[in-house]
Structures are given as structure tokens and as C-alpha cells.
Amino acid sequence: MAKRILLLASGGGSLAAAILQAHDAGLINAEFVGLVSDKASPALDIARQFRLPDFYLPMQSDRTAWDQAIFECTEALAPDLIVSVGFMRILAARFINTFKVINTHPSLLPLFPGAHAVRDALAAGVTTTGTTVHWVDAGLDTGPVISQREVEVLPGDNEATLHERIKIAERALIVETLAGYGKTGTL
């Protein structure tokens, strides 16, 4: 029986699109049960293009109420795995202690955690950075690493050019990771 996967997204949806295209091409053996977004983002349009149920749960002034809403939505969908693909919210402890959640990050963790990983890598003067798929835990990008891919920092790179190359590697890496999960049921 195919594993049930839920996507969480906040942004443009390029990672979600890559995953769903790979699924349609037969590369990922899984059942995608929905996409949840905290913003009225293009990721919701991507979900609709792939006829995937989409759920818009905007952040509320009462964070506890929002945490409860996303928990209940997720619980109703009963995923085996949740994939954070550009979801820019820290999930509540109850959520990550109940559900299996993985995330993509634009650096070679544990280096450069947080929201400005590409900028931080450039500021540090590294010659190689990359992307990581990791388990989500209670920390900020501190969960165990599942897979990584290196990306060379080229002379003249700025945040935009480097981030675009990292995104290309990130899309390939998450697809490969989920393809393996679909075959074995483990990460």
C-alpha cells in the first residue's frame, strides 16, 4: 500500500511542483493527500493544477488556535509522512511529536541553519554549500540529516544566483529522497 504524504508550503511551490511532477511520471510511489499553506501562495495553485486537495490555514493572532487548526487538518488527512517544502513556520511540539515531518533546507546542515542560509554561506566565504533533507525536531534545522547534495559557490555569485542553483539541487534531492521512501517505506 502506498504511503500517504502531506505537503506543507508557504511560497512559490517549486518544490511541490517538482515532487508532484515526479509522482505523475511514476518516480514516487506514494499517495499525496493534500497541500497545506499558511499563506495565499502560488503553492496552492500548484496543488490545484495537480488535483491535490489544498488547505489554506492563515496564521492567526492566537498562535495556539492556529497550532490546533493545522494539527486537526493534518490528523484528518492521516499522512504517513509530512514534507515541508518551503513552509516557513516553526511547528508546535505536539505536531512534531505526533507526525513524521521532514524538511528541505538550502545549506549543508548543521552549517547555516535558519531563514538566511544562502546569505550566511556567502558571508562566511565558503566555497561549497548545498541542500539538506532532514527530520524536523524541536530545534531550528537541527533534526537528523537524511540526505544532502553539495553546490559549488562560484566566483561572482550573489544570493540570488547561488540560491537558484541550490533550488535546482534541492528539487532533485527531495524527489530522489521521496522516490526511495516510496520504494522502501523508510528514510
**DSSP conformation letters of 41-83:** -HHHHHHHHTT--EEE----SSHHHHHHHHHHHHHHH--SEEE
d(Cα 97, Cα 109) in Å, to the nearest integer? 21
Q: Which of 23, 105, 134, 163 is catalytic?
A: 105
Sequential pLDDT tens for the chain (187 residues): 899 999 999 999 999 999 999 999 999 999 999 999 999 999 999 999 999 999 999 998 999 999 999 999 999 999 999 999 989 899 999 999 999 999 999 999 999 999 999 999 999 999 999 999 999 999 999 999 999 999 999 999 999 999 999 999 999 999 999 999 988 888 9
The kind and range of the H/E element at 5 are strand 3-9
Domains assigned to the chain: 3-105+133-148+174-184 (3.40.50.170)
Active site residue 163: no
